[in-house]
Structure 1
Amino acid sequence: MNEENVVDAFNNGGIIAYPTEAVFGLGCDPDNEESLKHLLALKQRSAEKGLILLAGNYSQLLPYIDDSKIPQDKRFTMLSRWPDGITQLVPKNSNISPLLSGKFDTIAVRITSQPDVVALCKQTNKPIVSTSANLSGQEPAKTWQTLDPVLSKQVDFIIEGVTLGHSSPSKIMHALTGKVIRT
């Protein structure tokens, strides 16, 4: 991975295809409204659904969540579920773009150990938006070589890394209630 180019693409509002735990994701800078709109249009995804933020550590998520609404015991449980494989719905910061949270009062977040993502998040000191690299309703790509050719031509950077080999996309659960939304 050419780290300088991927960081430039991220900082300049580009859409990046990258490996996650199980599938390839598409993402961008969560603070760039135009990038978020472009990503949703590219995916043909409804803005009401919201998006996931993928980070290398918890501190990168703090600007996007309302940590004060997470009781200490729930925070401990939430953090113990990471890294990898579990996306958690947490109270959102009221200042974030509604494109990140959709119609919800929570935001979906996950901490990963996927090295390419961790490196990008470390260099930008931000999480990256994460949604599967496919058009809505189609199967997500598991390798960069199997990315949809239409999508491949429309992204600004492809990280040619490998997933962590998980068999299915992340489980989604509510961090405070433990309710599973997607298995």
Structure 2
Amino acid sequence: MSSPFRLRLGADTLRKGGILAWPTEAVFGIGCDPLNPRAVQRLLKLKQRPLSKGLILVGANFQQLLPFIQVLPEAQMRPVLESWPGPNTWLLPASPDAPFWITGASALVAVRVTAHPVARALCLAFGGALTSTSANRSGHRPARSALEVRLRCPGTDDILHGHTGGLSRPTPIRNALTGEVIRP
């Protein structure tokens, strides 16, 4: 796991509008401060990803996601909350205050409370949720190591080293309103 010093440096990079990569449950993720439109624009350009697709947000706890979502009735929230922390991404209704550069062309926002130690520690050091998308150009294989991040995502400001969580595929995505599996 990254040292507390490296985590603080990474959080500082994010606060200054930088792009950071870190290990997640399956692959290296790359992200930025979700409330910084310039950082998000830079991230989307680096990934060659359209704004309309939206971005996943990852947090250390449910409270870090609350500014971006609308909480559903208990029966619909139960499966979501019972799956966290863990490698489960859910689509929830976006808060009216959620920036359009996070939701894309959707009224939903993809969110996850991570159990990965580096990703979780980074969100805590940063003090909030982060955008988290696979470290690769859109349509290409995601990076599974820091070296692959450097090769596949030139322009990344910094990388937190560590091991991925061992999943063979990115986290599943499910719609909390309907239960539909969007990405197995």
Output the aligned Cα RMSD: 1.1
Equivalent of 1:44 in 42, 45, 48:
48
> C-alpha distance in 1, partners of 2:12/2:127?
14
Deviation at 1:147, TM superposition (A): 2.0
- Structure 2 unaligned blocks of 5 or more: none
Instruction: State yes or no: 1:53 paired with 2:57.
Output: yes
> C-alpha distance in 2, partners of 1:14/1:40?
13
1:53–1:129 contact (8 Å) kept in structure 2 = yes
> C-alpha distance in 2, partners of 1:25/1:123?
17
Deviation at 1:74, TM superposition (A): 1.3
Instruction: State yes or no: 1:8 paired with 2:12.
Output: yes
> C-alpha distance in 2, partners of 1:115/1:36?
24
> C-alpha distance in 2, partners of 1:109/1:150?
24
Residue by residue, what CA displacement relative to the aligned partner does 1:82-120 show, whole Å, maximum 9, x if unpaired?
222221000101112111000000000011111111111
> C-alpha distance in 1, partners of 2:87/2:152?
27
> C-alpha distance in 1, partners of 2:84/2:7?
25
> C-alpha distance in 1, partners of 2:46/2:148?
17
> C-alpha distance in 1, partners of 2:126/2:63?
13
> C-alpha distance in 1, partners of 2:165/2:123?
17
Equivalent of 1:114 in 109, 113, 116:
116
Q: Secondary structure at the match of 1:77?
A: helix
Q: Secondary structure at the match of 1:169?
A: coil
> C-alpha distance in 2, partners of 1:78/1:62?
13
Tell me the TM-score normalised to structure 1 length: 0.94
2:69–2:94 contact (8 Å) kept in structure 1 = yes
> C-alpha distance in 2, partners of 1:163/1:150?
17
1:134–1:148 contact (8 Å) kept in structure 2 = no
- Structure 1 unaligned blocks of 5 or more: none
Deviation at 1:33, TM superposition (A): 0.6
Counterpart residue identity of residue 154, structure 1: G
Instruction: State yes or no: 1:165 paired with 2:169.
Output: no
Tell me the TM-score normalised to structure 2 length: 0.94
Q: Give the percent of matched residue pairs that are identical in Structure 1 and Structure 2.
A: 41
> C-alpha distance in 2, partners of 1:165/1:83?
16
> C-alpha distance in 1, partners of 2:97/2:8?
30
Equivalent of 1:35 in 39, 47, 56:
39
2:7–2:160 contact (8 Å) kept in structure 1 = no
